[in-house]
Amino acid sequence: MLSTTTRFGPDPPAAPQARDHQRTAPRAAAYTPLQRTLRARQPRLIVTPAILAVIIGIFGVMVAVSGRFAFPSPLLVRWGAQFGPAIADGEWWRLASAMWLHAHPLHLGLNALFLWRFGGYVERLLGPVVFLIVYVLAGIVASAVSLQFQANGLSVGASGALFGLVGVLLMVAMTSRGRGSLGEMLAELRPNLVSIVVTNLILGWLVPGVDNAAHIGGLAGGLVLGWFVGRHSLDATPPPRRTLIPIVLTAGIAAAAIAGAGWRQDITGEMARVGMQMDDAETAFETARADIEAGRRTPADVAAEAERTVLPFIHGAQVRADGLVRAATARASAAARDRDGHVENSRVPPALSAGLSQANRWVMCLAQYDYAWRVRVTGLRTGDAATLDDGDARAEAAIRSAVTMLTGS
């Protein structure tokens, strides 16, 4: 996310310290004529407040539907988060949808504040249509780069697109010197823009959970977009046709990212995908048990539903897990085979050995979860509370094992 502690806006600092006055005053004074010049080009902002309304509106709908203010990973995935396994399965649209989602109010608030304080500069420079295209393209590039660094991870937020806007303006500032009064004013922003980039990247490395790969990707995309579109904006608002080349380049980057995600899907991606299904199954089971207590459903009905839905999905996961074990075994055997065709376990590379071990552990985890649900079904049909509790304990242990395998903790 972008920090709002770095001041960049239409208003100069109210009372700079004495020792900083000589350095700060000229740069602060440049904001007023720059803002006035940009307002003369486009008096009203259209896209910036529209984007702000959309991201706040989506967050509000998610709160209303879920009853939560901080959203867990399964909910974010259902709403369109960037999630490597799902993208590899063909849900490429997640590269674009993730930029409209936020995980909690602070995440939303920081990005919304920065967009409101900063987006107007770029919109007035590029015009509303080109600004919207650039914003979306920068967000897609940010997601594509993030996907390469966390193929099985999850990411949401507008900060990648916002870094793209910084990149556009930075490119304009770097190429505007000597090109009229507007160019000179924009050139004066370079130190501020560099400070914003450096500060927020450092914060991204220091604060856990921040997707700095998306920030770097968005910034790089913004610099490229700024070269194709933004540097021509000093003379006049660029026409939408100038975005044709950036659109083609972004589509190529996105396609390469999706292909790369597909090539790298392994046991970890399968575990993440099945883990989401486990979470859904546990949530549905809690709701079903509440319905039983309220008299809205019978235990036999819930048991039958589990046999129709949960057990088949576990069986499918077990079949895929067996295939992963076979593939890992084949890779390990091929690597350990000597010139005479004999297999020596000592020759297996550590990475392949670890992959085979993880695949075997995943098979055992799924077997444990399958058995837990069969015990639950038996408890529901017999009305035996102790059996049902045993199934719950076994399911909890299986989920704990899966989480440990995914997180490495």
In 3-state terms the chain splits into helix, strand, coil percentages (rounded to 5) of 80, 0, 20
* Residues 277 and 111: beta-carbon distance below 8 Å: no
CA distance 299 to 289: 8
User: Is residue 217's pLDDT more than 90?
Assistant: yes
CA atoms 10, 14, 20, 25: torsion sign: positive
User: Is residue 376's pLDDT more than 90?
Assistant: yes
Q: What is the pLDDT of residues 104-133, one digit of tens each?
A: 999 999 999 989 888 998 999 899 999 999
User: 3-state DSSP call for residue 40?
Assistant: helix
Residue type, 267: I
Lowest mean pLDDT among 37-51, 327-341, 357-371: 327-341
Which sequence spans correspond to the domains of the chain? Answer: 18-263, 267-407
* Residues 154 and 75: beta-carbon distance below 8 Å: no
Residue with tokens 């071990």: 357
Lowest mean pLDDT among 30-39, 75-84, 260-269: 260-269
CA distance 64 to 187: 45
User: 3-state DSSP call for residue 155?
Assistant: strand
Point out which residues pair with 83 in neighbouring strands: 154
Residue-level pLDDT at 135: 97
Encoded tokens for 392: 């719950």
Q: Which residues are catalytic?
A: 159, 215
Encoded tokens for 29: 């004074």
Q: Which of 18-32, 51-65, 68-82 has the highest mean pLDDT?
A: 51-65
Lowest mean pLDDT among 22-36, 261-275, 395-409: 22-36
Point out which residues pair with 343 in neighbouring strands: 337
Q: What is the pLDDT of residues 142-190, one digit of tens each?
A: 999 998 887 666 899 999 999 999 999 999 888 877 677 787 888 888 8
Distances (CA, A) of 242 to 23, 131, 220: 38, 12, 18
Lowest mean pLDDT among 31-45, 72-86, 308-322: 31-45
Residue-level pLDDT at 177: 75
CA distance 52 to 116: 7
User: Is residue 18's pLDDT more than 50?
Assistant: no
User: Is residue 260's pLDDT more than 60?
Assistant: yes
User: Is residue 215's pLDDT more than 80?
Assistant: yes
* Residues 182 and 234: beta-carbon distance below 8 Å: yes
User: Is residue 14's pLDDT more than 50?
Assistant: no
Residue type, 209: G
Confidence of residue 2 (pLDDT cuts 50, 70, 90): very low
Residue-level pLDDT at 208: 78
Phi, psi for residue 244 in degrees, rounded to 5: -65, -45
CA distance 210 to 218: 14
Of the candidates 385, 400, 386, 391, which has an alpha carbon nearest to the alpha carbon of residue 371?
Answer: 391
CATH class of 18-263: mainly alpha
Query: What is the arithmetic mean of pLDDT over 189-214?
Result: 87
DSSP string, 41-68: H-SS--HHHHHHHHHHHHHHHHHHHHS-
Q: How far is CA 144 from the centre of its chain?
A: 10
Number of neighbouring beta carbons within 10 Å of residue 231: 18
Question: Can you count the helices (H) and strands (E) in the chain?
Answer: 17, 2
> What percent of the chain has pLDDT above 70?
83
Q: What is the pLDDT of residues 267-324, one digit of tens each?
A: 777 888 888 889 889 999 999 999 999 999 999 999 999 999 999 999 988 988 888 8
Number of neighbouring beta carbons within 10 Å of residue 176: 23
Residue-level pLDDT at 325: 82
Point out which residues pair with 154 in neighbouring strands: 83
Confidence of residue 263 (pLDDT cuts 50, 70, 90): low
User: 3-state DSSP call for residue 346?
Assistant: helix
* Residues 138 and 161: beta-carbon distance below 8 Å: yes
Q: Which residue has the higher pLDDT, 374 or 182?
A: 374
Number of neighbouring beta carbons within 10 Å of residue 404: 12
Q: Residue 82: enclosing H or E segment and its boundaries? A: strand 82-83
